[in-house]
Chains A and B, each alone.
Chain A
Amino acid sequence: MSNSLKYRGALVLFCLVLALFSLAPTLMRDSLPQWWLDSVDPIHLGLDLQGGMHLVLGVDVDKAVESRIDTIIDQTETQLREKDIIFKRLERRQGDRLVVLVYDEEEGAKVDVLMTETFPSLEAETFPGTGGYIEKHYRLSDNEIANVKDYAVRQALETMRNRVDQFGVSEPTLQRQSGNRILIQLPGVEDPDRAISLLGKTARLEFKMVAEQANVQDAIAGKLPPGTQLLYERNVNPSTGVVTETPLVVNTKTVLTGDLLSDANVRIDTRFNEPYVSIDFNAVGAKRFDQLTAANVGKRMAIVLDNTIYSAPVIRERISGGSAQISGSFTSQDATDLAIVLRAGSLPAPVKILENRTVGPSLGQDSIDKGIKSILVGGLLVVIAMIVYYQISGVVAVVALSLNLLFISAILSMFGATLTLPGLAGIVLTVGMAVDANVLIFERIREELRLGKAPKLALASGYGKAFLTIIDANMTTLLAALVLFQFGTGPVKGFAVTLSIGIVASLFTAIFVSRVIFDFFLHGRNVKRLSI
């Protein structure tokens, strides 16, 4: 046997062993030693095959910019008062700027000095306002806006990751996508609606004082005293499950927020056997809560989550321990989920569900079964066609094709690529197209034989002449597959992956492996006729 053949044969054997090694965890997971399972993963199944949830959430980053402005307004107002600067009003305009209305140039200049000192990133503009005021505009720079937006998305991603971790999903994927989008994949989720409500909740917890002096009926009619807002208190009747909403007027100013929480847990109220959420403040929060309750004994404080009041208890005494409770006629799952979102932190801005694809496990299994059945039936038909048409050479092509399937699966598991339903279709397609290279070679060999060449010579020149043709033809399909990979999302990407791997693997098996098989059987023999 020539050295070249030995080396080539060894290479093929090596690939075969490697492929079997990496496929073993997929095929016979239970009977393998642990070190084996540690070194290679079984093939990952896409959500469309194993069932699960694919979500794309959009973070409303403009809201994040607005709330940044609102924070600046709060801080500025305090400072203006501390420095005794006379101003008429502070307000947010067009989402990205704050406006200070002052009466004259002198006060305006003072505001300018203060603002440049405290917020160097703001860009100032002055307009003569109507009615004798001067409008001092401060706008976030484009750079700063981009930062705020970017930070909002990153923080939202972080918060979602916390929530998902506590929700208990195995192997979740959370990724930031272009712009303000976040991709979340939750394999095997059993209650999709609950997952959505957990992830989509902003969970902005605020404490606001109830405006006792305001008339609720006037407020509903649209007449609100300045600095107050109308919110609704949510009540669930525990026996009927009917939700009622009671209007309540509260001060717009938030006295304390959930950012200062250190923990949240579900507890059961022993008297009514009802679950509630107990919250603990961190050091800063505890101190503020202490001051706040001390100053407002006898008044009502509303606990607001995402603009809905959960409860509005009367402060009976000063609370120093740094803990409080949110009760609001919860079911135990509601309470658990609320504790999760409070622990994980609030989202910096509201999110919207832009895309949701959920596949139940039964459909996934169905798709796997049907996909494998089509591969088997399609493959069998191709095997028959090849053997009938090319006889023994056809058998060689079939061996190459089987190795091809083996290699594709092995490469999928080695690279941790994900197999999706379109991916299975890609494999089926590869089966059909993979024999093409062998067909090209065999047709060439037939032509050479007709020219009167000896079998071995015809074989060599058949392979030689077909080689470039095969490369040219497959490069273009590979090109299309790569473009698809770039563009594709989820399942479609799976198609691009298997198609690309399939093309490369089929080049190897159809050109290289089949040649080794021929050479192995022909070497040292003087063959008169080739079964082709």
Chain B
Amino acid sequence: MQLIKPDTNIDFVGKRKLALIFSAILILVGLTSLVVKGGPDYGIDFVGGTLVQVQFSNPTDAAEVKKALAGLDLGSPVVQHFGDGQSEFLIRVEKTSAELKGFSSHILAALEQTYQKGNVDVRRVEMVGPQVGKDLRSKGLQAILYAMLGILVYVSWRFEFRFAVGAIIALAHDVLITLGMFSIFGKEIDLPIIAAFLAIIGYSLNDTIIVYDRIRENLGKHHKESFSFVVNRSVNETLSRTLLTSGTTLLVVLALFVLGGGVIHNFAFAMLIGVMVGTYSSIFVASPLLIYWEERKTAKAK
């Protein structure tokens, strides 16, 4: 079976202005949301706080849960519905349980008063002190920066510097859009999301390098053709592979998104966006960037 005919020649390069506008809009929308909301919505991993996941044997709703907790001095707890069904909730509090001793048992006791004993199960408690949160945040940023730096060096070594720059810009593009989407959908950024970002970086780069590799190969073969022709041809030649691999990866990520459960939901969401944007960017961003670079160089030469 073939999705893409061997002699396919779609003019991707010719649509690069359009792609540029599309990317700019996506990034701008995301950035606007980020600015309006005053930065990314960090989870307790990065700002500190306490998170308690509770499950009730009978369905209830967030307002009800909040009411049951009203007697406790929790500051302003946020109660959020979690996973599928109406029986699981996340309770998030800014304070850390260093200040609130026996935190989870207090919450359990308060909930049991409303919902009866045996109907409430505390399934998970996470408490992160503000100092640890700060450390994790800076470590997370460092990890992303170091990964990008390592990639810059590796791609410069295996290819050329301009390829490396193109790849890095494409990566920044992917991470920015995913970050923006997180903000728009009001999803929190916590530790696993940093892992997802790095996986997206790895995946998107994987994609970009396959195309670059073909461009490198074709540059040796077709001396007489223009640079943009070679780029477009290379994108077309690898198109079948790009679509198939993205397809299979999307399939599994979708499986994770739908079946993986609440704890992994946001991670899968990040990957879902990342894989789509990463595929798009290796065709429409990373490759055209090489052409812009080339055009600037020839313009300067004149």
Q: B198-213 interface mask toward A, CB cutoff 8 Å, 1 = contact, 0 = none?
A: 1101110111011001
Contact status of A385 and B247, CB under 8 A, knowing A360-B123, A487-B143: yes
Contact status of A473 and B122, CB under 8 A, knowing A355-B129, A429-B271: no
Would A425 and B264 count as touching, CB distance under 8 A?
Answer: yes
The B-contacting residues of A in range 308-364, CB under 8 angstroms, are: 352-360, 362-363
Would B123 and A359 count as touching, CB distance under 8 A?
Answer: yes
Measured in the bound complex, the distance between the Cα atoms of B191 and A355 in whole Å is: 13
Would A483 and B261 count as touching, CB distance under 8 A?
Answer: no
Stretch at the interface among A11-19, A296-304, A368-376: A368-376
How many chain B residues sit at the interface, stated as a range, is 35 or more
Judged by a CB distance under 8 angstroms, whether B299 is at the interface is no
Contact status of A439 and B154, CB under 8 A, knowing A382-B248, A385-B247: no
The A-contacting residues of B in range 235-277, CB under 8 angstroms, are: 237-238, 240-241, 244-245, 247-256, 258-261, 263-264, 267-268, 271
Measured in the bound complex, the distance between the Cα atoms of B259 and A381 in whole Å is: 14
Would B97 and A371 count as touching, CB distance under 8 A?
Answer: no
Q: Which residues of A contact B104 (CB under 8 A)?
A: 192-193, 358
Judged by a CB distance under 8 angstroms, whether B31 is at the interface is no
Measured in the bound complex, the distance between the Cα atoms of B54 and A498 in whole Å is: 29
Q: A366-391 interface mask toward B, CB cutoff 8 Å, 1 = contact, 0 = none?
A: 11001101110111011001101111
Q: Which residues of A contact B68 (CB under 8 A)?
A: none
Q: Which residues of B contact A197 (CB under 8 A)?
A: 101-102
Judged by a CB distance under 8 angstroms, whether A436 is at the interface is yes
Stretch at the interface among A242-250, A285-293, A488-496: A488-496
Would B126 and A421 count as touching, CB distance under 8 A?
Answer: no
Q: Which residues of B contact A447 (CB under 8 A)?
A: 6, 237
Would A377 and B154 count as touching, CB distance under 8 A?
Answer: no
Judged by a CB distance under 8 angstroms, whether A462 is at the interface is no
Would B248 and A432 count as touching, CB distance under 8 A?
Answer: yes
Question: How far, in Å, is A472 (CB) from chain B's closest CB?
Answer: 5
Would B252 and A489 count as touching, CB distance under 8 A?
Answer: no
Would A421 and B142 count as touching, CB distance under 8 A?
Answer: no
Would B244 and A389 count as touching, CB distance under 8 A?
Answer: yes
The A-contacting residues of B in range 167-194, CB under 8 angstroms, are: 191-192, 194
Would you call the interface of chain A mostly helix, strand, loop, or mixed?
A: helix
Would B213 and A472 count as touching, CB distance under 8 A?
Answer: yes
Question: How far, in Å, is A99 (CB) from chain B's closest CB?
Answer: 31
Judged by a CB distance under 8 angstroms, whether A440 is at the interface is yes
Contact status of A355 and B127, CB under 8 A, knowing A469-B213, A472-B209: yes
Q: Which residues of B contact A436 (CB under 8 A)?
A: 206, 241, 245, 248-249
Stretch at the interface among A32-40, A168-176, A474-482: A474-482
Q: Which residues of B contact A425 (CB under 8 A)?
A: 192, 256, 260, 264, 267-268, 271
Contact status of A428 and B256, CB under 8 A, knowing A356-B127, A360-B124, A440-B210: yes
Q: Which residues of B contact A480 (CB under 8 A)?
A: 147, 150-151, 198-199, 201-202, 205
Would B249 and A432 count as touching, CB distance under 8 A?
Answer: yes
Which single residue of chain A is at the shortest CB-CB distance from B103?
A193
Would you call the interface of chain B mostly helix, strand, loop, or mixed?
A: helix
Measured in the bound complex, the distance between the Cα atoms of B129 and A338 in whole Å is: 27
Judged by a CB distance under 8 angstroms, whether A187 is at the interface is no
Question: How far, in Å, is B60 (CB) from chain A's closest CB?
Answer: 18
Give the A-B pair count, Cβ closer than 8 A. Answer: 236
Stretch at the interface among B33-41, B73-81, B131-139, B219-227: B131-139
Contact status of A352 and B206, CB under 8 A, knowing A378-B252, A425-B264: no
How many chain A residues sit at the interface, stated as a range, is 35 or more
Would A499 and B199 count as touching, CB distance under 8 A?
Answer: yes
Judged by a CB distance under 8 angstroms, whether B67 is at the interface is no
Q: Which residues of A contact B198 (CB under 8 A)?
A: 480-481, 483-484
The A-contacting residues of B in range 19-66, CB under 8 angstroms, are: 53, 55
Set A356, A443, A446, A488: member contacting B195, Cβ < 8 A: A488
Question: How far, in Å, is B41 (CB) from chain A's closest CB?
Answer: 19
Judged by a CB distance under 8 angstroms, whether B140 is at the interface is yes
Question: How far, in Å, is A65 (CB) from chain B's closest CB?
Answer: 19
Would B263 and A421 count as touching, CB distance under 8 A?
Answer: yes
Q: Give me 14 A-to-B residue pairs in the complex whose CB atoms sit less than 8 angstroms apart, sorted by A's number.
A: A353-B96, A353-B129, A354-B132, A371-B264, A378-B255, A425-B260, A436-B249, A473-B213, A476-B155, A477-B205, A487-B143, A492-B195, A496-B195, A499-B202
Interface residues of A (CB under 8 A from B): 48, 56, 58, 192-193, 197, 352-360, 362-363, 366-367, 370-371, 373-375, 377-379, 381-382, 385-386, 388-391, 421-422, 424-426, 428-429, 431-433, 435-436, 439-440, 443, 446-447, 450, 468-469, 472-481, 483-484, 486-489, 491-492, 495-496, 499
Interface residues of B (CB under 8 A from A): 1, 3, 6, 53, 55, 96-98, 101-102, 104-105, 121-129, 131-132, 136, 139-140, 142-143, 146-147, 150-151, 154-155, 158, 191-192, 194-195, 198-199, 201-203, 205-207, 209-210, 213-214, 237-238, 240-241, 244-245, 247-256, 258-261, 263-264, 267-268, 271
Q: A374-B258, A426-B199, A440-B210 are in contact. List 6 more A-B contacts (CB 8 A).
A: A355-B127, A358-B125, A377-B255, A389-B3, A483-B198, A487-B143
